[in-house]
Chains A and B, each alone.
Chain A
């Protein structure tokens, strides 16, 4: 907090020099640097300056100083994977930050709405029936949205959806779809389908290709753009329903606009990468401790931080051991202790102990 709260003059886009500087230059640069590093690192390693040239060569006429294989690895193999990890990481982190604001609770994450479980069920169903990845993505998206519709219907009281009902409906829906996923793994053929479902559920970007970037990119770009436009309104929404209404905000439409955007992002992310936990919980916290709770600064920082975070984790996942480590395992193994240390050190600065 103290970093953010020192400015003497009031200028639009409050927050101190630090936060503005971070947004304007530091953080995007860091994301680009992480991306270039990730494109080079791996079993077949390419030096960063070579990666940089290969990337430039896609738009500028540059004399190749690299081998055909270098370019293939960077552009075709790792390219879509790095793009996907940034989209999924940024999207999940942003979703987590929005949900924490909407539910006025810093401990909720993208799982709370039941959308993750719904999408997981949809994906597992497609794998069980041996359908291709287009169906997998479509089915995951559809079931994720279906979960949100169920949550909405269950939480509706007198034409409104109180937060408490929303949380309970989310928990119920989540538990229900999780049970359905268990049913699928129970009936799945243990030699062919079961391992595929289990590995998909653990989360992985190993099968990334450019066509798969689309189902993740569309929700993140559209939903994320919408969320960023509404980021100051989210401050008001996080004061609670009655206060927001008293300040002239139409709470129900605004809340659902944000929730639908979040659901689309989460469903898109699950569709292409399986269930990747912890990103949506840890990264918003990290960002909040760093730049404070004002969503105008918090949301862009969270988005960029999430993109860098998951790209680093995914690079570790594919280069630490000869076999790939599932992404969901690493995000939890890294996320949980980091989260704990941060919480202890800052004692929940940026949010109020309820």
Chain B
């Protein structure tokens, strides 16, 4: 689906943002990238999406990628539907305009994210959560089997976080592969099969989420002590992550 082999990126020579990163994204798999600000999460994601060319290593994409950017500043008041329709660019010839097939596909994508009723609203009038869902719908309309999302739930309130996270999990169940960055270890815990922890420019660890999302690993990653709390609710054991801001 998507294979990164030993990639590294540097804006200037020998000033590596990250190096020796390898990962292979399988079908129906979700991989979350975690790390402090400025460690190169978004840059890594752009390399994977083919928007940046890594300085070393190779990126192999089995098919086209649906990239969902972190924030979107539209200059013109396109409707949500028009935004989703633009996801069809790869299917439409240079001099051609969208046809019925493309309209149907865009409509289906909007229905899949549950926003068909907002199709005619100007995109910038939508809430942050709805905008994120529209951008995901746009990636779906492109018929990509791989979604790459930059901080999909970063600027959202708890309810909208839940909406986006659940949608992503449902999409993975339907066969999509998802690579995303996140600042919230809880999101990785909820979503990810595997995680990539970016400790330093030459120190990235990838592994199963259950194995790597430990108190020790996360505390070291952010420099903030994190506790994993386990408790029982309705007969099932549940876990949550709690950052200990007051400690030092």
Chain A interface (Cβ within 8 Å of chain B)? 1, 5-7, 10-14, 101, 104-106, 229-233, 235-236, 238-240, 242-243, 245-249, 254, 288, 292-294, 296, 349-352, 354
CB distance from B47 to the nearest CB of A (A): 13
Contact status B74-A236, CB under 8 Å: no
A residues near B121, Cβ cutoff 8 Å? 5
Contact call B95/A6, Cβ cutoff below 8 A? no
In whole angstroms, what is the CA distance A254 to B93 when docked?
Answer: 13
Q: Is the CB of A292 within 8 A of B77?
A: yes
In the complex, whether B170 has a CB less than 8 A from a CB of chain A is no
How many angstroms between the C-alpha atoms of A12 and B100 in the bound complex? Answer: 6
A242–B42 Cα distance when bound, in Å, is: 13
Query: In the assembled complex, which residues on chain A have CB atoms less than 8 Å from the CB atom of B51?
Result: 242, 245-246
Contact B99–A12 (Cβ < 8 Å)? yes
B201 interfacial contact with A, CB 8 Å: no
B77 near A1: Cβ-Cβ < 8 Å: yes
A247 contacts B77, CB within 8 Å? no
Which residue of B69, B78, B89, B92 is within 8 Å of A242 (Cβ)?
B69
B94 at the interface (CB under 8 A from A): yes
Check A351 against B75 for contact (C-beta < 8 Å): yes
Chain B contributes a number of interface residues (CB within 8 A of A) equal to: 40
Known contacts A5-B120, A10-B104, A14-B103; is A247 also within 8 Å of B76 by CB? Answer: no
Q: Offer 25 A-B interface pairs, CB within 8 angstroms, sorted by A.
A: A5-B79, A6-B120, A12-B97, A12-B99, A14-B81, A14-B103, A105-B75, A229-B95, A230-B95, A235-B78, A238-B74, A238-B76, A239-B72, A242-B46, A246-B65, A246-B69, A248-B90, A293-B76, A294-B78, A296-B97, A350-B77, A351-B76, A352-B74, A352-B76, A354-B75
Shortest distance between the CB of A149 and any CB in chain B (Å): 24
Contacts of A246 in B (CB 8 A): 49, 51, 65, 67, 69
Residue among B46, B67, B100 having the largest count of chain A Cβ atoms under 10 Å = B67
Known A-B contacts: A246-B51, A249-B89. Give 12 more (CB < 8 A): A1-B77, A10-B107, A238-B76, A242-B46, A242-B69, A247-B67, A248-B142, A293-B76, A351-B75, A351-B76, A351-B77, A354-B75
